Structures are given as structure tokens and as C-alpha cells.
Amino acid sequence: MSRIPLPKEDELDADQRRVYDDIKSGRRGAVLDLFMMMMHSPQLADRAQRLGVFLRYETSLPTRLSELAVLTTAKHWNSSYEWHFHEKEARAGGLAENIIAAVRAGDTPAFDNAEEAAVHAYTRELLSNRHASDETYQTALGFFGNAGMVELTCLIGYYCMIAMTLNEHGVPLPEGAEPALPPPG
């Protein structure tokens, strides 16, 4: 249950409406409740969704690797809403079902792909320790280079912000969706 109400589409002011229309006409094609919650600050919603478009669709990282980082972040925060939308994206991007299931369970997957193992290790260490070991960092850097490492780190940070927003304000799952993760807290 939301701690503060989601703005209703028919009650949006001019600034909120501009951001709403921009999001709806963009790559997402819809305005999720996450962005409706952020609409309490339309400037924040606008900037957050623009950064999200870049981090989700335009980085140098392949979709399966970006979505692996997002799912690992969603699991860390037990954000079922974030998980709900990104599990489908991870599958569509080619992430194997056994990896998705292991991340959901909080286990380290049995990776066949060294890039996937590097993303998972880097993401988990960064989230759990607030810092990755030199070995983990250098392994990932070897795969993704300077730009890829900056993008990966910012992707993880962005989805932490999203998970915190969803969890703290109680943004509900879409109607009929069951939580895939235990509640936060």
C-alpha cells in the first residue's frame, strides 16, 4: 500500500502533464506507477526517467548484462516491483533461466559466461560491501573497459534509487502480480 498517494493522470498539473506525455511517447510507451510516484516532483521524474532511458537502453553493455545487474540490485533491496518488470527484460535479453532463479534465491549462479560472472560479482560486492575488491574490479574492467565500468556502476546506483523509491513509498505491484521476492525490511 502506498504511503503517499500516486497522482492521478486526470489531476496532473501542466509540468506533470509535460513529463507524463514525454515518458508515454518514449521507449517505454507507458508511464509506470514508479514514475507516477516521482511525479510529486516533476523535475525529478523527468531527469530520472531520462537517465533511466540511457542506462537501460543506450549503454555499451548488452541487455543481458545490464538486466543481470538490475536483477541483482532488485534482489539486494527485495524490490518485487523492480524485479517484476526486469525479469521479463532479462529473459528477452538472453539471460538464462537458471541464472535468474539463482539470483532470485540470493545464490551465486553457476555461470558459463565469464562476463556474466563478472557483472554479478561486481554488483554484489558493490552493494554488500559498498566497494568491490581490486580483483573483482579489474576482472570487470578487463571485459567492459573504462566507459563500461562507469556505466555499470551508475546503472547499479540508479536502480538502487529506483528500488528505494519503490520500497519506501510502497508503490504497489501491477494488479494481479505476485511478489517474486520477500518484502523489504
With a cut of 80, say whether residue 148 has pLDDT above it: yes
- Which whole number is the average pLDDT over 90-119? 97
Domain that holds residue 94: 63-169
Residue 178 lies in a domain: no
Q: Rounded to an integer, what distance in angstroms lies between the CA atom of residue 71 and that of residue 50?
A: 20
| Judgement on whether residues 115 and 48 belong to the same structural domain of the protein | no
Residue 89 lies in a domain: yes
Whole-number pLDDT of residue 108: 97
Residue 38 lies in a domain: yes
pLDDT in tens, 44-76: 999 999 999 999 999 999 999 999 999 999 999
- Which whole number is the average pLDDT over 137-149? 98
185 vs 22, higher pLDDT: 22
pLDDT category at 85 given cuts 50, 70, 90 is: very high
| Judgement on whether residues 71 and 148 belong to the same structural domain of the protein | yes
Q: What is the pLDDT of the chain when averaged over all its residues?
A: 96
Q: Rounded to an integer, what distance in angstroms lies between the CA atom of residue 125 and that of residue 131?
A: 6
With a cut of 80, say whether residue 2 has pLDDT above it: no
CB atoms < 10 A from the CB of 173, how many?
16
| Judgement on whether residues 23 and 102 belong to the same structural domain of the protein | no
| Judgement on whether residues 45 and 70 belong to the same structural domain of the protein | no
- Which whole number is the average pLDDT over 118-129? 98
CATH number at residue 140: 1.20.1290.10
Q: Evaluate whether 74 touches 67 at the Cβ level (below 8 Å).
A: no
| Judgement on whether residues 124 and 86 belong to the same structural domain of the protein | yes
Whole-number pLDDT of residue 185: 78
Whole-number pLDDT of residue 28: 85
Query: Residue 56 has which C-alpha cell?
Result: 537501460
CA-derived radius of gyration, the chain: 17
Residue 4 lies in a domain: no
pLDDT category at 159 given cuts 50, 70, 90 is: very high
| Judgement on whether residues 159 and 87 belong to the same structural domain of the protein | yes
With a cut of 90, say whether residue 100 has pLDDT above it: yes
Residue 44 lies in a domain: yes
With a cut of 90, say whether residue 29 has pLDDT above it: no
- The DSSP 8-state label assigned to residue 148 in this structure reads H
User: Using N-to-C axis directions, what is the helix angle for 114-129 and 134-169, rounded to 10°?
Assistant: 60
Q: Rounded to an integer, what distance in angstroms lies between the CA atom of residue 169 and that of residue 155?
A: 21
CB atoms < 10 A from the CB of 118, how many?
22
Q: Which of 119, 27, 30 is nearest to 67 (CA)?
A: 119
Distance, CA of 66 to chain centre: 9
Count of domains forming the chain: 2
- The DSSP 8-state label assigned to residue 57 in this structure reads H
Residue 157 lies in a domain: yes
